[in-house]
Structure 1
Amino acid sequence: MLVAEGDTLLLRCMVLSSCMDDTIKWVKVSAQDEREVYNFQHGFFPGVTPLIQRTLEPLSCDYSIYIHNITKEHIGTYLCAKFDGLSEDSERKLDEGTSVFVKGAKDPEPGLWIFQPQELVLVTPGDIAFLNCTVLGNGPPGPIRWFRGTGLNREAIYNFEGISHPNVTAVRASNNDFSIHLQGVSLEDAGTYYCIKFQRKSNTQYLSGQGSRLRMKETEFSNEPEAQIAPTGECTRFWRVNGFPTIRGYRRWLSHGKGSSATWKIPRTPAQQQRRDPDSHVLAAEKKQGSGSQ
C-alpha cells in the first residue's frame, strides 16, 4: 500500500468470531523487532484511533484503525493479531499483513514498484522458505533477479531469464508475481534476499525491493546426553534434536596404565557459540580396568 507523507492511513481488520473473549491488537513487524501499534484493551497510542469508537453495548467486530500524519517512520508491515491476554505465546496473526510504503512530497513518481512485503521470514532448517515479490508498473526491458546480500559479494539466487540455483523455484501465480521457493533451507541460507529489476540494454540494476531477511528458527537440543559404550571401548553420546536422537560426537577411550580417560568436545548450537562456555570440554570419569582394581 502506497501512502503520501502527511496523509491518514486506514488499516482494515474484521473478526468474525466472538468480540468479547479475545484481545485484539495491531503490531508493526520489521527485521529488527515487533512493535505494538494499537491495543483495543489498554494503552495510549498517539496518532492512532479506531475506525469505530466503541461503546459498552453493542460491541462491533470491526478492529480497523486510522494512523494519522504518516511519515517515513511508518514504513513497514502491519498485522492484526488476536491473543487471549494471558501470554504472548497465544498470539495469532489474523491476516498476512499490510505492507506500507510512504511517498515523500519531493519523491519522483516512479514508473515501477517492487514490493517485498516480508521484512522477516522465519523457517525451520530443512523446510521450504517462501520469499514474496510483486512487481507493478512499467520499467525498461530486462529481467527480474533475486540476490542474497548487497555489493560486490552478493550471491545470485534466481534469474527469471537465466540460470538459477537448483533448489530454487519460481511461483509465478500471476504476471506480476516474482516470488520464489527455497527448498530444504539450511543455516547457510540465512541472510537478506533482494528482488531486483535489471535493464537489459546495459545489464545494470534499475530498481531493488527493500529486502526480506531469512532467519533460521533455533533448533531445540536436549540438555542431557544419552551414552552407549560398545564392546570395543568406543563411547557414543546422543543428544535429542526436536525429539529425535542425533549423534553429536564420539571419542575412543585412551589407556593410561591401570585406567583410562577421555576428553569430550561437545558441539554447541549457534546461539551458544555467541558466548564462551566453560563446560564445553567435559572430562569423562576414569574407567577402571584390570583384575587388580576389582
Structure 2
Amino acid sequence: MAMKIGVIGGSGIYDIPGLEEARWQAVETPWGAPSDEVLTGRLDGIEMVFLPRHGRGHVHSPTAVPYRANIDALKRLGVTDVISVSACGSFREEMAPGDFVVVDQFIDRTFAREKSFFGTGGVAHVSVAHPTCARLSAACVSAALDAGITVHDGGTYLAMEGPQFSTLAESRMYRAWGADVIGMTNMPEAKLAREAELCYASVAMVTDYDCWHPEHDNVDVAAVIATLTGNAEKARNLVGRLPGLLGSARAACPHGCDHALEHAMITAPDKRDPALLARLDAVAGRVLG
C-alpha cells in the first residue's frame, strides 16, 4: 500500500514549499459536504491531502464542523494517515504558548455532535483506549524536533463543546482531572478516524494558558491570534518533514488502527439497514464488502 497523508487544520499550514501538482477539488460524501474543498498535491513524492477544518475563512464553529463528512472524504480519497493540527489552551506551566503537544489521550466533554458513522441497523463498537496512533505520533514528534520546535511527547487533550472558553471553575476542574491541554475540535474527529480505520495523530499548538493561570486570568483573543500566526509557520515546517520520515511504502499499522473494525460490527447481517450500509461504503467497505 502507498502512503497518503491527510492533514486537517487551518489554512495557514497549506502553503508548503515544494508541494507539487497542487489543486483544490470538491469531494461528495454520504454524510454531506466536508468543511471545504480539499487541496491535493505531492510532497517529496508522497501524495498529500489538506482539509481546512473550519473552511477557508473560518466559517464553521467547532460544533458545526461536519466531522463525519471530513473523515469520510479523506478515506474516500485513499488517505492512510491523518495528522490533526489544532490550537489549544494549556493547563501546565511547562506547556507554554508557542509549544506543541503531540496528544495521546482525550477527555471528551462535547455533547452536541454526531460522534459515530454507525447506528440503528448497523451497530459497531471500536476501542479508543489508545485513541491516537503511536507510530504516527512518533513521526510527528521527530518532525517537530527536526524543525526546532519545543514539543511535548504525550498529553491529555480535553475536548470542550465551545464556542465559549472555560469558566475559571471549569479550568481548575480540568487541571485537577489531569488534563494537559484544552481544545474544541479533536472530538469526535479522533473517534471517527478510528471507526474509519485511519491512523490518527494530534498535534496541539499551545496559544494560551486558558484562565487558570494567575498571570493569565482570561483568554485574550488578540494574543491567541498572534501566537497562532507564529505557530502556523512551525506547523508548516513540521508537516513538510513528514513525507521524508514516513516514506512512500505504507506497511500495516503495528497498533491495529487500520483493522479497528475487524470485530466491531455486532448487528446481525440479516438485520442490517441497507441504506446505512450504503453510506458506509468508504468508511467500512473493507469489512462489509
TM-score, structure 2 normalization: 0.26
Larger RCO: 1 or 2 (CA < 8 Å, sep 6+): 2
- Structure with the higher strand share, 1 or 2: 1
- Bigger Cα Rg: 1
TM-score, structure 1 normalization: 0.26
